Amino acid sequence: MTDWQPTASLAAIKARAELLSTVRAFFAARQVMEVDTPQLARFGVSDPHIQCIAVPGYGYLQSSPEYHMKRLLAAGSGAIYQICKAYRDGEAGGRHNPEFTMLEWYRPGFALDDLVQECLALFAELFIGAPSKTYRFRDLFRQVTGLDPLTANDSDLIVHAESRGAPKGLNKTAAVDYLMATRIEDALPAEQLSVVTDFPGWAAALAQTRTDNDGATVAQRFEIYYQGLELANGYQELTDAGEQKRRFEQDNIQREAHGLNPMDADPYLLDAMNTGLPACSGVATGVERLLMAQQGSGKIHDIIAFPWPRA
């Protein structure tokens, strides 16, 4: 039997160590402090698209260090980053493993574009010579599909998604999400770091929103793609505790509609935000995604020593 052996090559394991060394040197040079927060905690995220792994009697394995890092920010930590394990239920396949490594960092006082530029500076060290280009979500979606995701008729967006293989019964937002994942992402040049900004307001998650020049509500959020992979997801972070509580409630309404268990709002996060979360922007990136892009691999098992089937 060979199942005891790692699925990643020794070269890939070495590349991981070198990548993490580069990341730590990058933040040390910018005086961003490395922190450590719990991977097992009483509360999980309410996002309907993310399912936490429950640990009976203890709470949940954390899908992201976000809530705890924001508590540190509210306590006056200043700029911080973390490299940690994260866990998500039901995420296993060619590009996903239920346990993975996340790099997440927060910059008090940074506008969103400042954080975009810092992401590109880090990626310039990881992907030498890769050019970059920025797109507005709305413009990119319209360019690829011929439809405006914010103003097109719901039925037109749904029919277009179904013509591309989407399951029946999607609503407008689900149709736009499907087309983004199956058409728009594929249309981005593989050898280019593609920054997508100004997502629809309904995709704000924990980001602030604003009104764009066309009068539409957009999320102050960006994603960066390279080699056909989503590498980074960043927000101008929501700091209003009342709005955060409302979004927790809206998440649970959506969870119920999809037959998912409700998630209690994290009172520690809300208390921290009530005390005062500083204006900041934050971003998360999967370390395995970075390695896959570096190594030119389409399989996460190529760069994890012991993925779930062999863990």
Per-residue pLDDT of 107-130, as tens digits, reads 999 999 999 999 999 999 999 999
Average pLDDT score, the chain: 95
Residue with more model confidence, 150 or 54? 54
Angle between helices 66-74 and 267-276 in degrees, nearest 10: 30
At 118 the pLDDT is 98
Q: Which fold has domain 10-131+230-310?
A: BirA Bifunctional Protein; domain 2 (3.30.930)
Find, among 96, 98, 103, the residue nearest to 119 by Cα: 103
> What order do you get walking across the sheet with 40-41 strand by strand?
40-41, 59-61, 53-55
pLDDT band at 226 (very low <50, low <70, confident <90, very high): very high
Residues 6+ apart with CB under 8 A from 18: none
- Measuring CA to CA, how many Å separate 218 from each of 39, 197, 260, 289? 32, 9, 27, 27
The model's pLDDT over 2-38, given as tens digits with 9 standing for 90+, comes to 799 999 999 999 999 999 999 999 999 999 999 999 9
Where would I find the beta strands (DSSP E) of 88-208? Answer: 99-108, 132-136, 193-200
269: tokens are 């996060």
